[in-house]
Structure 1
């Protein structure tokens, strides 16, 4: 603990030397729906926290709904006195914020690694999964890919408008994969990439996707799964900020247009043993097949994580590369679990089902649990799509059905934590019911 405090204190002091104009730092963490919450601290108080002063925030901040409200979940929120819970600073995450009008810093905080971690905090859920795998001699290497849309900054009666091409001042309303789109929007995309790098994120490939104003960013592979999820979370925050600075809105909404492709969160995962050998490639790739089988078996029971809101379910079975059933295949983008072509050293799965607005900590935790379960069970998967285009098993396509499928699955409860599963499912159920408490204009058109 003394060593960590010394490291944190050095990090804060170095930051103050390099950024003397920064007076405040946002201490932030991701809640269950995938939004950042936290507090803005004066830099001098942050130094005291780094030196060992307690850092406490309300425990129930993790339970906020999509709109920020609290739901009654068991004894939480309304019968527990809304207690504080200890947090800690995450080393290496104190970075400058360049998209705000005033100099500012930000730093991740978490309850994992404290004396009493919050069982349903997303980062703590992933931490437990990673720790269990490490004890078993399994070391994941992870890379995220995130798709998002650019919209015009101004909404039209609450509806998004196509982003304007800065060269022609015309709306970018044509779906295409043309490389020229990267040039036309290079100013904002370059700023997004550089800002992400300033946050310590390894940005690799940038792609113009099929939807109008849609792009994809790939991150480098990491042998630290937690850090990989941190990168995905922080990228979403910085990208939205940079877009606003340039007169756009960046959105990771799963399905903003019904007629165009949705935005996904693709996660590449390979598993290595303590000697650095790729476990999935051993014994003529038999462990790969077992891992795939485990992923597909648990996938229908993790749908509230992969599709965390009403809109995310709209993306499933969409226009391009969005599966309607739990399936897998080699070099097949129609599959939920794709096996990219690679040499044995880099053999991996690409999990393609999650929406871009899903919580990256929970998505990775659910994927790893599926792989772990598959390796333990040792079952053969169903036929890949390369052999049978109709291969696949059904998964829930509505939130309430998905919650029921998740809440009572014994493997999911055991490996993700029963307390987390109960809290998460009730949070999703209440969010879904709250969403239904508004009459849409279409209802009046149809039934008035």
Structure 2
């Protein structure tokens, strides 16, 4: 068996042989708000890193706010000397970038698996949850679904404009699910799909969604939770790049239009033992009920993860299929936790609450923590929506309330890590306060 460095070195050398025109590779990782940061490396230096040379970036790059600034969080950022932290290359993620004007490559990096992982790095948080489940003999299989909007490339005084229909050059301003929209926007959608596949992402179904210019991409079911979240993160990056190349903007913003549906991140999760048996289907599906109860119990305390910004909170309880309370149901898209119809082998939950711009590593970590808690506590869930349309538990819909609920919940602190919870909640609180530090035109209209 090859050593990790030998495998990485072979990957880099094969990439250089297949793409001799690529001179630089972007080494990238996702920060807390879900944006990529990193460095652009000459490809010959990448060989040295693959062979074992240190790869270091500032630890506090993970802590960036939504606008890229640093907040004082405990002793981080301003009282710690801004130290470097080791990162490693993620095998299998070195791929060509086709949406830039010049030949380029990209590769994921992470602190998980290093000698001193960053406790609040999103990928490391998920890695720890998955490792704990593996030690318990629980093996998740995961599939993400992502909704997004296409806008015209040009903004109108900072506001998005409807995407132009390539056939008529009219604005695609009518909400509908017509499959003809896939044909009208096929050039950009096909390029998005092909580019995603070049990145190693297993995408499957493409759907025209209800909102004007809104689409959904489904990913294949994956038995590696980290890879499944990698796919979701990388898809957002490549899709935005491809859209710009075609004269559009692609946005995963949760609620770009008040009058139209928001964009969500739906996550399908099933749990198996080492022999491949579906744990949720055992004992007349009693573990499924326990898992649902755990998800619903922790859901109100993970809202800063599922709805990570002011705009994402606007989406909740919206026009269609966006829950206003923590609820569950069989084949019910109004529920936060939906149980799709399936055979026992494929029995799973579909967690539908997260916004499309949420951090996929943290969303999956929070969902798995809820499932794990439910299997341990073995409580019965509340009544499903199929039996009572008013069933459900309240969750916070204001960011500061959500942050307090998350930071004070002992199970969340235990499952996701107390250091991560404290850092994440302070990051969200500071982002929220920074967002408020601007007087909008509406305030002058109302109060001047």
Same fold (TM over 0.5): yes
Deviation track 1:294-348 (CA, whole Å, cap 9, x = no partner) reads 0000000000000000000000000000000000000000000000000000000
Shift of 1:111: 0.1
Determine the C-alpha separation between the residues in 1 that align with 2:51 and 2:271: 37
SS at 1:144 equivalent? strand
Determine the C-alpha separation between the residues in 1 that align with 2:251 and 2:124: 26
Determine the C-alpha separation between the residues in 2 that align with 1:380 and 1:445: 50
Deviation track 1:20-42 (CA, whole Å, cap 9, x = no partner) reads 00000000000000000000000
Gaps of 5+ in 1: none
Determine the C-alpha separation between the residues in 2 that align with 1:361 and 1:78: 27
Deviation track 1:86-138 (CA, whole Å, cap 9, x = no partner) reads 00000000000000000000000000000000000000000000000000000
Deviation track 1:59-86 (CA, whole Å, cap 9, x = no partner) reads 0000000000000000000000000000
- Counterpart position of 1:33: 33
Determine the C-alpha separation between the residues in 2 that align with 1:2 and 1:171: 54
Determine the C-alpha separation between the residues in 1 that align with 2:287 and 2:375: 6
Determine the C-alpha separation between the residues in 2 that align with 1:129 and 1:177: 37
Shift of 1:376: 0.1
- Counterpart position of 1:137: 137
Shift of 1:18: 0.1
- Counterpart position of 2:46: 46
Determine the C-alpha separation between the residues in 1 that align with 2:205 and 2:282: 29
Q: Following TM superposition, where does structure 1 have runs of at least 4 consecutive aligned residues deviating by more than 4 angstroms?
A: none
Deviation track 1:392-423 (CA, whole Å, cap 9, x = no partner) reads 00000010000000001000000100000000
Shift of 1:142: 0.0
Determine the C-alpha separation between the residues in 1 that align with 2:21 and 2:223: 35
Q: What is the correspondence of 1:301-380 to structure 2 with a 5 Å cutoff?
A: 301-380=301-380
Deviation track 1:348-394 (CA, whole Å, cap 9, x = no partner) reads 00000000000000000000000000000000000000000000000
- Counterpart position of 2:218: 218
Shift of 1:194: 0.2
Deviation track 1:205-256 (CA, whole Å, cap 9, x = no partner) reads 0000000000000000000000000000000000000000000000000000
Shift of 1:432: 0.2
Mapped pair 1:55 → 2:55 = yes
Shift of 1:2: 7.3
Alignment coverage as a number of residue pairs = 448
Q: 1:217 to 1:297 in 2, by over 3 A?
A: same
SS at 1:2 equivalent? coil
Determine the C-alpha separation between the residues in 2 that align with 1:168 and 1:157: 24
Determine the C-alpha separation between the residues in 1 that align with 2:89 and 2:222: 21
**TM-score, scaled relative to structure 2:** 1.00
SS at 1:178 equivalent? coil
Shift of 1:442: 0.2
Give the aligned CA root-mean-square deviation in angstroms: 0.7
SS at 1:141 equivalent? strand
Determine the C-alpha separation between the residues in 2 that align with 1:173 and 1:65: 33
Deviation track 1:188-208 (CA, whole Å, cap 9, x = no partner) reads 000000000000001100000
**TM-score, scaled relative to structure 1:** 1.00
SS at 1:364 equivalent? helix
Gaps of 5+ in 2: none
- Counterpart position of 2:295: 295
Mapped pair 1:128 → 2:128 = yes
Mapped pair 1:82 → 2:82 = yes
SS at 1:325 equivalent? coil
Determine the C-alpha separation between the residues in 2 that align with 1:317 and 1:410: 27
Determine the C-alpha separation between the residues in 2 that align with 1:35 and 1:399: 20
Determine the C-alpha separation between the residues in 1 that align with 2:107 and 2:185: 29
Determine the C-alpha separation between the residues in 2 that align with 1:64 and 1:218: 29
Determine the C-alpha separation between the residues in 2 that align with 1:348 and 1:26: 36
SS at 1:20 equivalent? coil
Determine the C-alpha separation between the residues in 1 that align with 2:19 and 2:391: 56
Determine the C-alpha separation between the residues in 2 that align with 1:296 and 1:288: 12
